[in-house]
Every structure is written in C-alpha cells, then in structure tokens.
Structure 1
C-alpha cells in the first residue's frame, strides 16, 4: 500500500541551524562554511541514492558555492536561510521511477516559486522499514534567478506572509499537487495503488457517498502522528517514547475497531440471509423518500409554531381594537374638558390608516421574531437528540458500521464546531482590545504632539540626544506603530478564526445530514427568516367609508 507523506520544515539561525550544514548532510558531501570556517563533512554517510541542485529554468549550480552565497546573503542573526520539504516516495516503484518523480517535483518547486531546490533521495536505513524511501528538498528562502543571482525574500514560502495576504501556503498548495504526481507515476507503472492527501474524515465521508462500507471501516480510526528520527532511533534501541506509545495504542485500537466492524457486518449479513431479508435496494429511492419525510416534518413543525403565534397576535389586535372603540365614544357630560372635534373628514382617515399600518408592522416584526426563536429552540433540541442518539449508537452492538461511523463523525464535528466558535469569540475580544489600545496610543500621541522643528531640536535629534519633549513624542509615535501592528495581527487572527468557524460549522452540518440519513431521521434545518403572507389592511377613506387595500408587491429593482 502506497503511503502519503509531505511536511514542510524551517531552518533558522535563531535555532542554530545552517543551510550549508543541512545541504552537506542531506547530499552526503563536504561543505566548508565561509562565514564560520566550520567544515561539514558527511562524505562517509550512506544511503544517499541521488542528489541534484535545481534552479529555475532547468539550470543548476555548484552546491557548496551556492549555499555559501545564501549564508552571506542573509544578514540578520535570526534569519530563515532555507526551508525543507520532505516527501515519501512509493516503495512500489523502482529506483529510476522514484528518481524521476522526485526530480520532477523539485524542478516544479523551483520553477513555481522562483527559488533553488536542492534534492536528495535517501534509501531506507539498515534495521528500519525497507519501504521508507523518501526525499529531502531544501528550498532557498530568497528568490533565485536562472543564472544563480540571489534576490529578495520569497514571500510565497513564508506562512506568516501568506496568512496576512490571505494566500494559500506552500503546504496547502503542494500537498494535492504531490498526490497527483504520485498517482500519475503509479498509474504509468501499471500499479493499482493510489495515495490520498485528504484527512481521514474527508476520505471517510467520500467513501460513505460512494457506498463503500469496506473503505469506511478501514478509515474509521484516529490518525497517528509522524514519529520522526528521534522516535525511530529510540525504537531501534528498544525504547518507546510517549509518541511511540500513543501511536501503538491508536494503531491497536484501529485494528480492533476494524475487526469489530467486519465481524458485525458478517453477522448481520448472515442473520439477514437466514431470515430471508437480504435483498438489493434502490439507495436513491430510499434517500429521496427520507428527504421528503424530513421536509414534511420540518414544514409541519414550523406551521404549528407560526399558527400559535398568529393566534396570540390576533388576540392582541382584538384587545387593541376594543381600546380604540372605547376611545371613540362620545364625551361624557360634566367632564372637565370636552373632546376636540376633527379638523376635516380626511384628517381622521389618514391618522387611522397610519396608526393601523404602524400597529400591523410591529405585530409582523414580533411574529417573525417569535417564530425565529421557536425554530432556533427546535433546532437545538433536534441537535441534542441527535447527539444523545449518536452516543447510544457507539455503545450498541447492533448498530451498523455506517451508523457508528456517522455517529463518531457527528460527535467529533460538533465538538470541533463548539471549539471553533469559542476561538472566534476570543479572537473577536482580542481584536476589540487591540482597537482600544490603538485609540489610547493615538490619544497619547496627540497629547505630546509632533517632534519640535526648531534648529536646536533637529540638531539634538541628529546627534542622538533629543529633548525630553521629542523623546516623548517619538515614543508615542512608536507606541502607535506597535499598536497598529498588534491590531492588524489581531484582525488577521479573527478573520482566520471566523474562516475556521465557518468550516467547522459546515462540517458539523454535513455530519448531521449524514447521521440523519444513516438513522432515517429528519435532519435539522433552520431558515434565518420565515416567509409570512401579508394581510390586507382596512383604512378609512376621506368620506368615512371603510375600504380594503390589497397588499403591495415587492418594489421594482
């Protein structure tokens, strides 16, 4: 079975990393660092099957000379000098096919981002997994021309810059591309194995749509984490680090769950065959019938709620009409002040019509609000019922593999959506606090005013000895810059949190729909604004005759 793996690592001087040392170790060569004078000699290293330095335009350069120029090009002490992409190569392919596949991917990265890509293919180590063919691709952090000239920073490789610009990162864009290249190479070799870059949840949902319950049972497991070099070396020494223990526990649990699914499916199949209930069904017809039943149930519940609220509003209108009727009675004799007469016949009709329209508008808004609140309560109740049923399904042995898979997905996505909403709330509060900090900083800057422009103050600032007023003004200006930067970062985090919240909410809604299909129950749906039919209004004409006006249609666009 072909294995998919792609990770992106960062090498920074702040962590003590060096691009010359990284290139020498991965290619198994000797490189002397021109800045430090340190010699990185890895010529005795075994397991390097192939190495090549790729520049844009299908060009190449000397490895030692190039990476020394990269080290000299970056001046900061905490600079990121290079990045690394590690990919797993299919063990099903031969060595030439793996070399062509990795070399083509390195050239693709160099041409796509305009950088240098230093490729090194490593063979499985002795005593390890003999399928562990992989490739290390060192990427220069700066742009590189086809002739090897170094340029500015490659913004497309920096995840922070991509987040600010709202662009996809290197890992986001290249994971799917690498999966396509691997699958194309496997198909060209005449092999049936394929790799998938998506998460297990997405793969499981796709298998459910296809009706491939065998694949669903295999994908119904908790993903493990990559162990890396340190954990693998500890395993060879007979030690099990915490990550190794966790992965072993998850693998054993996944195998037990798959075996339980298989046995339960076979038992149910044998029982149905013995009772004569095993027959083929039209899945599309069943799905259409379940969808129709869910829509009917939702319409009935909303109609019942709307009818109750309309009845309450009619009663309120009747009470209001009684009050208005009492107000129109003739003035009693002996009262302190007589009732004033109307100025004209038309004036009474206009006022009555305005009062009636305002009252009906308030009633309609109240009706919509109450109906929306009632629908939201019903939605929450249906979701709680689905969660309780999902928890029971995970404990019931008679539940089918599809039902157990949808139940587990429902619980996971519900928790993820709740956490995403909480994270969005915290990000919104942080953005609000950041904006308040910016306002305070601007107020402080306005209090101190700009730096003085007289010749003495300008000269003292040039000599590095500003006056107390100038020092306070400059500090206030710097505080405003820092506050603005913090606000921009908080805004980006809030937008990212909002995006994750929307994705988590969509995933939870999708999981609820699949769960409802598996258990043949109505899926919770809620419209933001219910459609209510307008009622005709009764007004008084200028002559005093009551007339009925028809409801208006929508205004022309």
Structure 2
C-alpha cells in the first residue's frame, strides 16, 4: 500500500558532509570533489531508475552539469560549517509504474522548487524497505542560493521558513493522491501524524477509519540497516520495526474480532427484539380476546336483567290501574310518595315513644 514519507534536511559541511559526494551517491555517478581532491565513484549502484537536473529558465548552462554544479556550490561556501544543500527525500507509491512515478516527481519539483528559483538534482531509486518489499523513492537535492547572472548570489532565507516546509510536505500528499486517482487506485496518503488523522476521523464520525489509524507508527530504518537486513544481518532498528509490525497486526486482528463480535451481538439483539415483539403482540391479542368475552358476558347479563325487570313491571301493571291522563298519573305518583312519607313519620313517632318509656323505667 502507498505510504507517506517526505523528509526535508540540510546537507552541512559542519557534519563532515560534501555536496559532491552526496550528489554522486544519489545519481550513481563518478564525481570528484575539487575542494578536497577526492573522487566519489558510485557507478556500481544498480537501483537508479532515473536522474536529471531541473532548473529555472535563467540558469547558466554550466550549472546543468552535475559535477560543475555541486563543485560550484562547494566553492561558493567559505565557512567550515556551511550549509551546502537542502535534500527532500520522498517515498513513491508502489501502485504507480515507473513512468507515472517520474511524472509525479517532476511535476512536484517543478511547481514547488524550480518555480521558486532553486536548481533541483533529482534521482529516483527503486530501493527496498526493511520488510524486504520494493520501496521506490526519490532524492531531490536543492541549491540554497539565489541565481545571479552566471553564478550564485546570497542565501535565500525565505526558503528556510517552517511554514514553507510544512507546505512542501502537504503538497507532496496532494500531488501523490492526484496521481493515484488518475491511475485508478483507491490508496491515499496523508502528511499528518497518525494522532492528527485519528482525531480528524473521530470529529467527522468515521469510526471505521479511526480504527484503521489506531496503530503504532513505524520507526525509521537507515539505508545502511536496510542493506544489512537484506543480506541477512539482524539490526536493532530492524528488530524494532518488526516488533511494531507484529503489534500492529495483532491490533488489527483484535479489532476485527471485536467488530465481528459486535455484529453478532447486534444481530442477536435484533432477533431478541423481534421475538419480544411477537410475544407482546400475542399477549395483546389474548388480552383483547379476553376483554371481548367479558364485554359479551356483561352485555348478556344486562339484557337478562332488563328483560326480568320488564317482566316484573308487566306483571304489576296487570293488577294496578294506571290513571288515564298525564295529570292523573302525576297526582297518583305524588299521592303514593305522600303516603309513603306519612307512614315513615308514623314509624318515627312510635320509636320515640318507645325510647321515652324505656328511660322512665330506668329511673
């Protein structure tokens, strides 16, 4: 899969380095450092895929020669701790072919370095990573002084700004992702740290992407260590990276198991929910049926009571003459009510006399 790697560093005389030696190694050529009188021969390197010098239009012709260019850089620097060149090292997507990788690097270098007045010495290597797989990458050596006529002018300090460095790193991800899209590849790279990418995924609610980014970053392994590992020699950095890969693999497997378990739990809960719904519906149906029978029983009992009361009234009416007119019926009912009240008053008087008689006996 495509990986992101874009490092920017300075080749400095203060650390014992030579711009000529660095250019010879990266281009796989034989170059002589005229200041030191030392020859650097890397013509036996077999992993060089492409090399070229890219320069602004106003560049003098002599600077298009690799040996003369970097010997000119060495001659322009007088300090023993001078900064000689800036190097940008970038990993190229494995998903792209050689021609696509070359076009990708040329477009990136032209837009962000050559257009700003820098001369770029570009070398594409096939290379291998610590895991033994092919890892194509590019080395871009950049001049640090402005061009003035036929030579170099002053150091351009604007090129050292930290925001410019961050812009170069972000731009590489953009260029690479556009190239991957043109090639029909789904893979993408991101210049941000794993932590920043996880936080961004969490903010947008992308739980799956957040899980994918939950891994330990791979440490850097030097080219010397990679070469030793390829020859079968175990190195400390190689062991560290293998340990990181193992832990990341275990983390992915555990995360996958957790996702599968969560899916099974969710499916089980859905099954239980459906079963509970069916049980609840059955209970509702039974309850409705029970209430229906109760209503029917109540209606039947009420009908029977009504029928009985009607029969009793009919039997009474056979022996009781009902007044003919409405006025007579009302008078009759009032008389009945008055008679009932008179009988009730008579009974109350009799009970009062009985109580008085009882109290007289007690005295």
When normalised by structure 2's length, the TM-score is 0.68
Aligned counterpart for 2:241 among listed residues 244, 247, 260:
247
How far, CA to CA, are the matches of 1:267 and 1:152 in structure 2?
A: 64
How far, CA to CA, are the matches of 1:234 and 1:46 in structure 2?
A: 17
1:235–1:54 CA distance, 2 compared to 1 (3 A): same
- Report what 1:267 is aligned to: 261
How far, CA to CA, are the matches of 1:244 and 1:277 in structure 2?
A: 49
Within 5 Å, which residues of 2 pair with 1:221-236?
Answer: 221-236=215-230
- Report what 1:100 is aligned to: 103
Q: Residue 31 of structure 1 contacts residue 64 of structure 1 at CA under 8 Å; is this kept in 2?
A: yes
How far, CA to CA, are the matches of 2:8 and 2:228 in structure 1?
A: 23
How far, CA to CA, are the matches of 1:57 and 1:113 in structure 2?
A: 11
- Report what 2:24 is aligned to: 24
After TM superposition, where is structure 1 displaced by more than 6 Å over at least 4 residues in a row? none
Q: Residue 84 of structure 2 contacts residue 143 of structure 2 at CA under 8 Å; is this kept in 1?
A: yes
Q: CA deviation at 1:56?
A: 2.1
1:70 match: secondary structure: helix
- The Cα offsets for residues 367-405 of structure 1, whole Å up to 9 and x where unpaired, read as xxxxxxxxxxxxxxxxxxxxxxxxxxxxxxxxxxxxxxx
How far, CA to CA, are the matches of 2:226 and 2:131 in structure 1?
A: 8
Q: Residue 272 of structure 1 contacts residue 278 of structure 1 at CA under 8 Å; is this kept in 2?
A: no
Q: CA deviation at 1:275?
A: 2.3
How far, CA to CA, are the matches of 1:70 and 1:113 in structure 2?
A: 18
Q: Residue 109 of structure 1 contacts residue 115 of structure 1 at CA under 8 Å; is this kept in 2?
A: no
- Report what 1:168 is aligned to: 163
- The Cα offsets for residues 95-145 of structure 1, whole Å up to 9 and x where unpaired, read as 111111112222224335422110001113599744311100011122235
- Report what 2:324 is aligned to: none
Mapped pair 1:201 → 2:201? no
Based on CA coordinates, which of the two structures has the bigger radius of gyration?
2
Within 5 Å, which residues of 2 pair with 1:486-525?
Answer: none
- Report what 1:181 is aligned to: 175
How far, CA to CA, are the matches of 1:101 and 1:229 in structure 2?
A: 23
Within 5 Å, which residues of 2 pair with 1:366-385?
Answer: none
1:51–1:278 CA distance, 2 compared to 1 (3 A): farther
Mapped pair 1:122 → 2:125? yes
Aligned counterpart for 1:191 among listed residues 185, 190, 196:
185
How far, CA to CA, are the matches of 1:210 and 1:277 in structure 2?
A: 31
How far, CA to CA, are the matches of 1:128 and 1:254 in structure 2?
A: 14
1:127–1:205 CA distance, 2 compared to 1 (3 A): closer
- Report what 1:321 is aligned to: none
When normalised by structure 1's length, the TM-score is 0.45
How far, CA to CA, are the matches of 1:176 and 1:32 in structure 2?
A: 36
Q: Residue 56 of structure 2 contacts residue 119 of structure 2 at CA under 8 Å; is this kept in 1?
A: yes
Q: CA deviation at 1:32?
A: 1.9
Q: CA deviation at 1:174?
A: 0.6
1:196–1:237 CA distance, 2 compared to 1 (3 A): same
Q: CA deviation at 1:202?
A: 1.8
Q: CA deviation at 1:230?
A: 2.4
1:77 match: secondary structure: coil
- Report what 2:158 is aligned to: 156
Q: CA deviation at 1:43?
A: 2.2
5+ long unaligned stretches in structure 2: 274-363
Q: CA deviation at 1:182?
A: 0.4
Within 5 Å, which residues of 2 pair with 1:204-215?
Answer: 204-215=198-209
Q: CA deviation at 1:81?
A: 0.7
Q: Residue 113 of structure 2 contacts residue 120 of structure 2 at CA under 8 Å; is this kept in 1?
A: yes
- The Cα offsets for residues 521-549 of structure 1, whole Å up to 9 and x where unpaired, read as xxxxxxxxxxxxxxxxxxxxxxxxxxxxx
How far, CA to CA, are the matches of 1:125 and 1:58 in structure 2?
A: 37
- Report what 2:37 is aligned to: 37
Mapped pair 1:75 → 2:78? yes
How far, CA to CA, are the matches of 2:176 and 2:20 in structure 1?
A: 30
1:135 match: secondary structure: strand
1:27–1:222 CA distance, 2 compared to 1 (3 A): same
1:191–1:83 CA distance, 2 compared to 1 (3 A): same
1:58–1:248 CA distance, 2 compared to 1 (3 A): farther
Q: Residue 54 of structure 2 contacts residue 122 of structure 2 at CA under 8 Å; is this kept in 1?
A: yes
1:97–1:278 CA distance, 2 compared to 1 (3 A): farther
5+ long unaligned stretches in structure 1: 280-557
- The Cα offsets for residues 40-73 of structure 1, whole Å up to 9 and x where unpaired, read as 2222221211111112238571111111111100
The structure in which a higher percent of residues are strand is 2
How far, CA to CA, are the matches of 1:209 and 1:277 in structure 2?
A: 32
Q: Residue 56 of structure 1 contacts residue 144 of structure 1 at CA under 8 Å; is this kept in 2?
A: no
More contact order relative to length (CA 8 Å, sep ≥ 6): 2
Q: Residue 106 of structure 1 contacts residue 118 of structure 1 at CA under 8 Å; is this kept in 2?
A: no
Q: CA RMSD in A?
A: 2.4
How far, CA to CA, are the matches of 1:205 and 1:126 in structure 2?
A: 28
